[in-house]
């Protein structure tokens, strides 16, 4: 395979993974696919629901932003355990139970509701 075709093949794979809600560097855990199925079974939120993969000094977490007023966001561990509600709610400050995670190293949207 020539370098040009190899590059085009890699680009096509990246586009497919991105369009399918994944990323070329990461594979979604099974629990996250289940959560996405649940979100897609509910009416479209405004703004549309999304899941953000966040890497902190403490590790990898998945963030589901609040969908509307007075609704808490959710922060899940890499294993799918609900860790806390970092923001949202009546005060906008979440539940106050989030552990210290250190600096945010990176974040990327791994899924966004395609209906909205």
Q: How confident is the prediction for the chain on average, in pLDDT?
A: 83
pTM over 0.85? The answer is: no
Q: Is residue 21 part of a domain?
A: no
Q: Is residue 10 part of a domain?
A: no
Q: Is residue 100 part of a domain?
A: yes
Q: Is residue 65 part of a domain?
A: yes
Residue for token digits 């979604």? 28
Q: Is residue 14 part of a domain?
A: no
Q: Quick check: 83 pLDDT over 50?
A: yes
Q: Quick check: 7 pLDDT over 50?
A: no
Q: Which of 13, 71, 18, 16 lies closest to 42 in space, CA to CA? A: 71
Q: Quick check: 16 pLDDT over 70?
A: no
Q: How far from each other are the two terminal CA atoms of the chain, in whole angstroms?
A: 40
% of the chain residues with pLDDT over 90: 70
Q: Is residue 49 part of a domain?
A: yes
Mean pLDDT of 65-86: 94
CB 86 within 8 A of CB 99: no
Q: What's the domain range around 90?
A: 28-112
Torsion over CA: 41, 73, 81, 107 (sign) = positive
Domain count, the chain: 1
Q: Which of 91, 95, 47 lies closest to 67 in space, CA to CA? A: 47
Q: Is residue 20 part of a domain?
A: no
Mean pLDDT of 53-74: 94
Q: Is residue 17 part of a domain?
A: no
Give the max Cα distance, the chain.
Answer: 58
């Amino acid at each position: 395979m020539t370098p040009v075709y190899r590059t085009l093949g890699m680009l096509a794979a990246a586009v497919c993974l991105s369009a399918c809600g994944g990323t070329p560097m990461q594979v979604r855990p099974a629990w996250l696919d289940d959560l996405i199925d649940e979100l897609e079974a509910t009416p479209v939120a405004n703004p549309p629901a999304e899941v953000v993969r966040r890497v902190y000094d403490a590790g990898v977490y998945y963030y589901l932003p609040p969908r509307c007023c007075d609704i808490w966001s959710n922060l899940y561990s890499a294993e799918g355990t609900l860790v806390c509600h970092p923001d949202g709610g009546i005060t906008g400050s979440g539940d106050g139970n989030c552990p210290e995670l250190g600096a945010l190293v990176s974040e990327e949207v791994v899924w966004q509701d395609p209906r909205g």
